[in-house]
Chains A and B, each alone.
Chain A
Amino acid sequence: MFEDVRDLYNATILERGRRPRHMRRLEAFDVTAKGDNPMCGDRVQVWVKFADDRSIAATGFDARGCEISKAAADLMVEAVAGKTAEDTKAMFAAFRTLAQTGACDDCAEALAPMQPLAAVHEYPSRVKCATLPWHALIAALDGQGASTSE
């Protein structure tokens, strides 16, 4: 049973959702923001530490939500490591397209870590679970304290 959900609930998502590698609050951070999906109650907070050149040196998160939102946050941490804020925003735009359609034309190699979530477009009500941590990350980079995936 449930073989047909393995496209979304694949081995990577199940592993990252259940045992996220980066789910921790950063002790020393430069910016932080919360993300909130008021329709479903999912909540995430993201902390970012910049390197001297303002690229992302470290990201940590705390999430209370489903496997999809936690896995998305965990993979996102790896995808944005070393990126500038500008790069990160471009990646989010590309990831949104990926999450909504299953593909994106100019999906840079940099977005490869997020590919395990590509099938979420088959689950329209779950797309916001996957994008919520990105909303929080972008809000942090923009110096806003909070965001929503609504």
Chain B
Amino acid sequence: MSQFDVTSIRAQFPILGQKVRGKDLVFLDSAASAQKPRAAIDAMVGAMETQYANIHRGLHWMSERTTEAYEAARDAAARLLNAGDRHEIVFVRNSTEGINLVAHSYGRSVLKPGQAVVISAMEHHSNIVPWQMLRDAHGTELRVAPITDAGELDMAAYEALFADGKVGLVAITHMSNVLGSYTPAERIVKIAHAHGAKVLLDGSQAVVHRKVDVRALDADFYVFTGHKLYGPTGIGVLYGKAALLEAMPPWMGGGDMISSVTYEKSTWARVPHKFEAGTPAILEGIGLEAAIRWVEAIGYDAIAAHEAELTEHALARMSAVDGLTIIGRAQDRGGVVSFTLDRAHAHDIATLLDRAGIAVRAGHHCAEPLMRRLGLESTARASFGIYTTAEEIDVLADTLTKVREFFK
């Protein structure tokens, strides 16, 4: 690949040296969770070995150092998203928790019964179910913006959803975990704002592949998860505009999120701490900080160029496999490729690929309504990361031809 040396990138991922069933690991499941570079691993291990204590409370050296290391992750996340203020970064467990936080806190305090929340027809379950729960508990309406057959958001239909003035919030993916389609986030936000609605973007996939600038997008909320961005599990980020976060009530009570507590009344800590009850994922925060710095050092220009080249290569090679159908043909797309084979069910494909050392995902990808929209039960999905090579895609395409022969 032209932009950077993928061999040296791969050398930084210890797991990529592993054999699976005696074969070189071909890991094409990064959209589910990415592998971890040495930098993130060492940061976590190093913290445990040299400076670790609980944070935000200890009046001792270890606690102070650990607090600094953990809070550096907030700076890193703010930098990554180009947030205006580090206090706009709330740490959560994952994107799912970030969305639930907004649904529970903003949804119940600012949205009024009868107002509508707009999602799209290509959401992950994590950006569907919280809004259904809000609907059922709070009396909001749930509207679904349709997609085209190519797997792009139908912008005319999207805009039409605002006609009655009831939409209070839009919650839409920035990149589909099934189709690889990017959504036109800037236009989504512009249209919503023109109708007085706020916007949450689910960046779980997008933030891995391209530079996200929440201020340029004018996003009101943006969520992503650490483990897809080459960081650890258990840590995710909710970005929210300061004024919105300030006005929102906390959603979980406990230590760390209070200003003072009496039996009669408690008062809340300032943003973002009022949303961070209890001891947080300290080590995971430290690992995320290292992962973000590692991604920044490579740079999104290089990452995006590498993945664009890979995706183009994959679409060409996979399209040439007899009987293979690529699901989703969006113009603006990234390195997530869902497909079906005429002779084999997705699970059988995945099992056979696994025997060849190739890891893909198969199933409904936590997007059942999207599957129904596509008229499918399941697909197989190959997804690419910073360490994926064109040769691995060749191995996938060649092996898929053999899978099809196996089921003749």
A4 touches B377 (CB 8 A): no
> Is there an interface contact between A2 and B377, defined as CB atoms closer than 8 Å?
no
Q: How large is the interface on B (under 10, 10 to 19, 20 to 34, 35 or more residues)?
A: 20 to 34
Check B378–A2 contact: CB distance below 8 A.
no
CB distance from A47 to the nearest CB of B (A): 20
| B377 neighbours in A (Cβ, 8 Å) | 41-43, 64-65
B345:A67 contact, CB within 8 angstroms: yes
Chain A residues contacting B355 (CB-CB under 8 Å) are 2, 4-5
Q: Looking at the complex, which one of A9, A65, A126 makes contact with B406 (CB distance below 8 Å)?
A: A9
Q: Given A40-B363, A41-B364, A41-B371: A65 and B351 within 8 A (CB)?
A: no
Contacting pair A65 B345 (CB below 8 A) = yes
A129 at the interface (CB under 8 A from B): yes
Q: List 21 A-B contacts (CB under 8 A).
A: A1-B399, A2-B352, A2-B403, A5-B351, A5-B355, A39-B363, A40-B347, A41-B364, A41-B368, A41-B378, A42-B347, A43-B377, A65-B345, A66-B348, A67-B345, A67-B348, A67-B407, A68-B348, A123-B351, A126-B347, A129-B347
B362 in contact (CB, < 8 A)? yes
Interface residues of B in 350-404 (CB under 8 A from A): 351-352, 355-356, 362-364, 368, 371, 377-378, 399, 402-403
B350 to chain A, nearest CB (A): 8
Which residues of A have CB within 8 Å of B362?
Answer: 40
Of A1, A39, A66, the contact of B345 (CB 8 Å cutoff): A66
Say which residue of A40, A67, A123 sits within 8 Å of B378 (CB atoms): A40
User: Shortest distance in angstroms between A6's beta carbon and chain B's nearest beta carbon?
Assistant: 10
**8 A Cβ contacts from B45-95 to A:** none
Which 7 pairs, one residue from A and one from B, show the smallest C-beta to C-beta distance?
A: A66-B345, A66-B347, A41-B364, A40-B363, A41-B378, A1-B402, A66-B348
In the complex the two chains form, what is the Cα distance from A12 to B352 in whole Å? Answer: 17
What would 6 more interface pairs be, CB under 8 Å, given A5-B352, A18-B407? A4-B21, A40-B378, A66-B346, A66-B347, A67-B344, A126-B351
Complex contacts, B348 vs chain A, CB 8 Å: 9, 66-68
Type the 1/0 row for A85-107, where 1 means its CB is closer than 8 Å to any CB of B: 00000000000000000000000
B178 to chain A, nearest CB (A): 12
Name A126's closest neighbour in chain B (CB-CB).
Answer: B351
CB distance from A146 to the nearest CB of B (A): 16
Complex alpha-carbon distance, A126 and B345, angstroms = 13
By a beta-carbon cutoff of 8 Å, the part of chain B in contact with chain A is 21, 344-348, 351-352, 355-356, 362-364, 368, 371, 377-378, 399, 402-403, 406-407
What CA separation (Å) do A82 and B355 show in the bound complex? 39
Instruction: List the A side residues contacting B344 at CB < 8 Å.
Output: 67
Give the distance in Å from the alpha carbon of A101 to the alpha carbon of B155 in the complex.
52
Q: Which residues of A contact B352 (CB under 8 A)?
A: 2, 5, 9
Complex contact B364–A40 (CB within 8 A): yes
A2 to B344, CA, bound (A): 14
B351 partner residues in chain A, CB cutoff 8 A: 5, 8, 123, 125-126
**In whole angstroms, what is the CA distance A60 to B282 when docked?**
55
Contacts of A8 in B (CB 8 A): 351
Interface string of A1-25 (1 = CB under 8 A from B): 1101100110000100010000000
CB of B408 to closest CB in A, whole Å: 10
* B138 smallest CB distance to A (angstroms): 26
CA distance A67 to B377 in the complex (A): 14
Docked Cα-Cα span, A98 to B347, in Å, equals 21
B21 cross-chain contacts in A, Cβ below 8 A: 4
Shortest beta-carbon distance from B123 to chain A in Å: 16
Q: Is the CB of B402 within 8 A of A68?
A: no
Q: Which residue of A lies closest to B399 (CB)?
A: A1
Q: Which residues of chain B are near A67, meaning CB under 8 Å?
A: 344-345, 348, 407
A127 to chain B, nearest CB (A): 12
0 or 1 for each of A40-73: is its CB under 8 Å from B? (1 = yes): 1111000000000000000000001111100000
Q: What residue in chain B is nearest A40 (Cβ atoms)?
A: B363
Residues 101-150 of A contacting B (Cβ, < 8 Å): 123, 125-126, 129
Among candidates A2, A9, A41, A64, residue contacting B402 with C-beta atoms closer than 8 Å:
A2
Q: With both chains docked as a complex, state the minimum distance between the C-beta of B67 and any C-beta of chain A, in angstroms.
A: 39
Asked if A68 and B356 sit within 8 Å, CB to CB, the answer is no
Complex contacts, B347 vs chain A, CB 8 Å: 40, 42, 65-66, 68, 126, 129
Question: In the assembled complex, which residues on chain B have CB atoms less than 8 Å from the CB atom of A4?
Answer: 21, 355
* Minimum Cβ distance to chain B for residue A82 (Å): 31
Closest Cβ of chain A: how far from B177's Cβ, in Å?
15
B20 to chain A, nearest CB (A): 13
Within 8 A of B (CB), among A21-41: 39-41
Chain B residues within an 8 Å CB radius of A43: 377
Please measure, in the bound complex, the distance between the C-alpha atom of A4 and the C-alpha atom of B355, giving whole angstroms.
8
Q: Which of B346, B351, B362, B364 has the most CB of A within 10 A?
A: B351
